[in-house]
Amino acid sequence: MKTRKIGPFDVSAVGLGCMNLSHAYGVPPPRPVAAAVLHAALEQGITLFDTAALYGFGANEALVGEVLATHRERIVLTSKCGMHGVNGQRVIDGRPDTIRSSVEASLTRLRTDVIDVLYLHRLDPAVPVEDSVGAMAQLVQQGKARALGLSEVSAATLRRAHAVHPIAAVQSEYSLWTRNPEIAALQACRELGTAFVAFSPLGRGFLGGKLRSVQGLEPKDIRRAMPRFAPEHFAANLPLLDAFDQEAASLGCTAATLAVAWLLHQGDDIVPIPGTARPEHVRDLALAPRLPLDAATLRRLDALINPRTVHGARYNAATQAEIDTEEF
Q: Quote the strand ranges of 174-232, DSSP E.
A: 195-199
| Residue among 299, 246, 291, 295 nearest 264 (CA) | 291
| CA end-to-end span of the chain | 34
Check if 55 is active-site: yes
Of the residues 25, 55, 119, 315, which is catalytic?
Answer: 55
Q: Give the Cα separation of 301 and 261 in Å (integer).
A: 11
CA atoms within 13 A on the CB side of 239: 7
Q: At what angle do helices 96-110 and 129-141 cross, to 10 degrees?
A: 40
250 three-class SS: helix
Which residues are bridge partners to 198 per DSSP?
A: 172, 272
In angstroms, what CA-CA distances link 121 with 53, 124, 186? 9, 9, 18
Other CB atoms within 10 A of residue 217 CB: 17
Determine which helix (DSSP H) or strand (DSSP E) holds 111, and give its type and residue range.
Answer: none
Positions marked active-site? 55
